[in-house]
Structure 1
Amino acid sequence: MGVTLFHHVGGILVVFSLFQIFFTPHCDAGNILVYPLDGSHWINMKILLEELHTRGHNITIIRASSSWYIPEKSPLYTSITVEMGKDVKDFFDEFIQEQLKVQREGLSLIAFFKLTKKFMSFLHVGHTLWCDTAARIFENPKLLKSLMDSQYNLVLTDPGIGPGVVIAKYLKLPLVLNVRWITSGEGHFVLAPSPLSYIPVIPGPGLTDKMNFIQRIRNIFSYSIILFQQNFVLAPIYNAMCDKYIEGGCDIVSLLQDADIWLFRSDFVFEFPRPTMPNVVYIGGFQCKPAQPLPANLEEFVKSAGEHGVIIMTLGTLVNALPEEIVEEIAHVFAEMPQKVIWKHRGKRPSTLGNNTLIVDWMPQKDLLGHPQIKVFVAHGGTNGVQEAICYGVPVLGIPLFFDQYDNLLRLQERGAAKIIQLHEVSGHTFQRGIKDVLHNDSYRHNMQRLSHLHKDQPVPPMDQATFWVEYVMRHKGAPHLRTEAYRMPWYSYYCLDVLFFLMTVVTMLLFSVFAIFRCLFCKKTKTKCKQN
């Protein structure tokens, strides 16, 4: 009977395998040109490239010579290295320190405008450097010919910077975006209808989809800053590149709107509900995989925590150290706790560090979050960390530093899965109160686990969605049928102002005609009476 059952199950598996072979959409190995963004954006791009590589696709990456994380040699891809005049990270470090200083001193109106001005200056310098780097491609006939002759099937890029989008236009190739951010902010705002009455601007003043009158004013003000940044800070840089290298010229926003597929690194478990478009594919949490075993030293440390569990803390890839006095207070709080702590920290070793705290330069974040001993994740609120916390169901104590981080953490806090401490509020007392609240109030863990169950309850895993749509674009040489034509319309046509003007003119003329007729009749009647008298 056991042998019969074995053969029966084996037969089912064979049939199922044949079904997959014959009925799964087929895509021959393609040639993909990738223009990535460095830093934490590269982390999730690399995960997508690993999956595409396992599916047999040939990948070529354009990278800057001063790249922080993108190696020149890799088994995943061949690389084209382009000289970059100056490392944008130098400007980034300076801006981060200024942001930390302003946050700690309190954000007055003058400080806000000063910081906004500095941020726009940083954006201008950074995007100018990236465009100058891309210009070296356009000015290299040999390299351009190689790109043209390579017969790429599509361009995959992160539109946080614009050169990849411009190169796709020049090479006349289908375009897939690995996106949450575009050059001027959150991607939805140039693609889908975005009523500011209930869609908060990101990064912005930290609002939800339930805004009162004053909050809507703040939301519109934040959006006006983004429009200024888009039209007056960034547009001139990219327009100059487009005018020089693209026949007929173009602008960066219309190039983004012309993309075939937007692989959007978010989902509606995390994001507030909003209008969207058919060529937007939500792949939030696509980087999450089953947790792998920890390295032996970490596993031993984690297991030694016993029933108290482990807290992990990291503030991402861009902040090497918090101000020293804050680090000392955090270390002191950790030292007094029964939990073990793994802390990614690259600054000076705090003098108040306890024996229960392990300081590391790097940690396998996903594998730690997936470990059953992890009780709390102390994080800055970057998109990757937030999505991974949701995936593995670990509640968060958030210390947002800059950009979108407060908005990301706010979405978790609104769902009862996180608690936020602003940087200028961090002290030994507030940090201890916050960490104990998240540790001992079971609602945080229950709410985060609920989000995790919702995130996982979908018919197709996010990574499969991402690879399917990349290959879909290859099979069909683009996806123009999924794109809206709205972006080709003048702004006055998009808002039907021309129609409104026409209708108002017609109504005015009708009313004027009626008035003229009545006036004529009245005058005629008056004249008749005068003659009779």
Structure 2
Amino acid sequence: MFNIFIEIHSAVGEFVSAILDNTKLMRTLNDRKFDLVLTDPCWSGGVFLAKYLNLPLVYNVRWMVTTEAHFAIAPSPISYIPMTGSGSTDKMTFLQRMKNIFIYFIVLIYDIVVTQQIYQPLCDKYLGPGHDFDQLKIDADIWLMRVDFVFDFPRPTMPNVVYMGGFQCKPAKPLPEDLEEFVQSSGDHGFIIMSLGTFVDDLPDDLANYIAAAFAELPQKVIWRYKGKRPTTLGNNTLLVDWMPQNDLLGHPKIKLFVAHGGTNGIFEAMYHAVPVVGLPLFFDQYDNLLRLEVRGAAKILSTSTVDKDDNFLKAIKEVLNEPSYRMNMQRLSRLHRDQPMTPIDTALFWIEFVMRHKGAAHLRTESYKLPWYSYHSVDLWCKNAPDLALDMSLLALSSSGVWWESACVPS
């Protein structure tokens, strides 16, 4: 897995070199007098471009090179903040905390490997040897975070982090005529949509046949984004499409359920439109995204390895359809998510223009990232003053126990 990610980021490094070595392009960018660079730091090309052009930097971000962005900028106690891939909530058992810290160190090692092998040499070549990529990547003026704490677990944050989770959500538009006709034919039963995201167009034939057979037993109509071989068990109530207007379908009054892989965009659209979810996570953050809905009673998660066992898929769909609590809980999340003074996209636009007006937002950036880890955690103070600190801690313990003394009696 490390090798695959290193190959991907190596390709990004080649793109960075191609951009910065193109003198005509760089001259054009300089001459245009841009106000800022807006980039996703998961792929670090924009980070280099902003520093090279000496422009303010704004992130459209959820992921850094190796982990969720909060871990790069904000205090992140892993005793209650789950790592992506841990499958845990913010209420962890002892064993879950052990797993969490193990994943944390794996990610840390990977971050060091990728940074030092790929991105630090680019820093040395194009920005000079005095630039450290670890500091460079967190030196953005504003972090537009694709997160909403209605969805995510509460955690420490920083003043230059602006939350715009669900920024792409909007009221539904009318459906194309053929889709509207199909949806209306569902009557009072309503309809279900299923999509496994941009990167998954098909499934193994046996799994696709099982899912199609389960859909065929439902009274609801089903719209399924699927480009694979047509399942032999497909029922008359199921429509296969290459593409669908997902937001508009989720906002339709006859929608009953969303069968989803758990990508961030789909999760926020489901929450915005108050549609309960049956989740089939496949990779990366998808299980963790769905888990955040499941613990709030708005989704049910299935494993792709067991989805075709004991009618699990059909049972899960019927449970979410027939148990009112799922829809009620999702409606509550939707009300909380929508109850904001500004829409997420307007909030994002305000802060982008704020950085343009003021040529950055340095007053919101903490200096903590410039400290070495031993200064950040005050380890150097402890090591240097261990005897005095031990005495101070002893006196503090006596004080908290109700034992008082005159300051003149304390030996220096």
2-side partners of 1:509 and 1:379: how far apart? 58
Task: Check conservation: 2:147, 2:166, Cα contact below 8 A.
Answer: yes
Specify the alignment match of 1:268 in structure 2. 149
Alignment counterpart, residue 355 of structure 1, candidates 236, 239, 252: 236
Structure 1 position 431 matched with structure 2 position 296: no
Structure 1 position 490 matched with structure 2 position 372: yes
SS at match of 2:305: helix
* CA offsets 1:389-429 (integer angstroms, 9 cap, x no match): 10000000000000000000000000000000011111160
Question: Greater CA radius of gyration, 1 or 2?
Answer: 1
Structure 1 position 136 matched with structure 2 position 18: yes
Alignment of 1:19-168 (within 5 A): 119-168=1-50
Specify the alignment match of 2:402 in structure 1. none
1-side partners of 2:340 and 2:274: how far apart? 16
Q: Cα distance 1:437–1:143, how it changes in 2: closer, same or farther (>3 A)?
A: same
Alignment counterpart, residue 367 of structure 1, candidates 248, 260, 265: 248
Specify the alignment match of 2:290 in structure 1. 409
2-side partners of 1:505 and 1:269: how far apart? 46
* CA offsets 1:410-467 (integer angstroms, 9 cap, x no match): 0000000000001111116010001101110110000000000000011111111000
SS at match of 2:239: strand
Specify the alignment match of 1:19 in structure 2. none
Alignment of 1:228-307 (within 5 A): 228-307=109-188
Structure 1: which 4+ aligned runs deviate by more than 3 Å?
Answer: 505-510
Task: Check conservation: 2:276, 2:327, Cα contact below 8 A.
Answer: yes
- Letter of the structure 2 residue corresponding to residue 239 of structure 1: Q
Range with greater deviation from structure 2 (273-282 or 248-257): 248-257
2-side partners of 1:165 and 1:359: how far apart? 41
Q: Structure 1: 5+ residue runs without aligned partners?
A: 1-118, 511-533
* CA offsets 1:149-185 (integer angstroms, 9 cap, x no match): 1111000001111111111111110000000011111
2-side partners of 1:314 and 1:469: how far apart? 33
Specify the alignment match of 1:472 in structure 2. 354
* CA offsets 1:274-326 (integer angstroms, 9 cap, x no match): 00000000001111111000000000000110000000000000012111111
**Cα displacement (A) at 1:509:** 10
SS at match of 1:359: strand
Structure 1 position 396 matched with structure 2 position 277: yes
- Letter of the structure 1 residue corresponding to residue 378 of structure 2: C
Q: Cα distance 1:368–1:495, how it changes in 2: closer, same or farther (>3 A)?
A: same
Specify the alignment match of 1:444 in structure 2. 326
1-side partners of 2:134 and 2:94: how far apart? 30
1-side partners of 2:96 and 2:105: how far apart? 14
Q: Cα distance 1:252–1:320, how it changes in 2: closer, same or farther (>3 A)?
A: farther
- Letter of the structure 1 residue corresponding to residue 82 of structure 2: P
Task: Check conservation: 1:162, 1:252, Cα contact below 8 A.
Answer: no
Specify the alignment match of 1:421 in structure 2. 302
- Letter of the structure 2 residue corresponding to residue 195 of structure 1: P
Task: Check conservation: 1:206, 1:406, Cα contact below 8 A.
Answer: yes
- Letter of the structure 2 residue corresponding to residue 236 of structure 1: Q
Task: Check conservation: 2:9, 2:114, Cα contact below 8 A.
Answer: no
* CA offsets 1:67-125 (integer angstroms, 9 cap, x no match): xxxxxxxxxxxxxxxxxxxxxxxxxxxxxxxxxxxxxxxxxxxxxxxxxxxx2212111
Specify the alignment match of 1:454 in structure 2. 336
Specify the alignment match of 1:326 in structure 2. 207
2-side partners of 1:212 and 1:353: how far apart? 43
Specify the alignment match of 1:198 in structure 2. 80
**Cα displacement (A) at 1:140:** 1.4
TM-score (norm: length of structure 1): 0.72
Structure 1 position 376 matched with structure 2 position 235: no
SS at match of 2:4: helix
Specify the alignment match of 1:308 in structure 2. 189
1-side partners of 2:253 and 2:217: how far apart? 22
- Letter of the structure 2 residue corresponding to residue 442 of structure 1: P
SS at match of 1:238: helix
Range with greater deviation from structure 2 (229-238 or 321-330): 229-238
**Cα displacement (A) at 1:145:** 1.0
1-side partners of 2:391 and 2:332: how far apart? 60
Q: Cα distance 1:282–1:329, how it changes in 2: closer, same or farther (>3 A)?
A: same
Task: Check conservation: 1:282, 1:462, Cα contact below 8 A.
Answer: yes
1-side partners of 2:116 and 2:66: how far apart? 9
TM-score (norm: length of structure 2): 0.93
Q: Cα distance 1:262–1:508, how it changes in 2: closer, same or farther (>3 A)?
A: closer
1-side partners of 2:135 and 2:48: how far apart? 11
**Cα displacement (A) at 1:138:** 1.4
Q: Cα distance 1:303–1:508, how it changes in 2: closer, same or farther (>3 A)?
A: closer
2-side partners of 1:252 and 1:414: how far apart? 37
1-side partners of 2:385 and 2:81: how far apart? 30
- Letter of the structure 1 residue corresponding to residue 244 of structure 2: M
**Cα displacement (A) at 1:256:** 2.3
Structure 1 position 216 matched with structure 2 position 87: no
**Cα displacement (A) at 1:235:** 3.2
Task: Check conservation: 2:195, 2:225, Cα contact below 8 A.
Answer: yes
- Letter of the structure 1 residue corresponding to residue 48 of structure 2: V
Range with greater deviation from structure 2 (143-152 or 278-287): 143-152
- Letter of the structure 1 residue corresponding to residue 382 of structure 2: L
SS at match of 2:355: helix
**Cα displacement (A) at 1:336:** 1.3
**Cα displacement (A) at 1:507:** 5.5
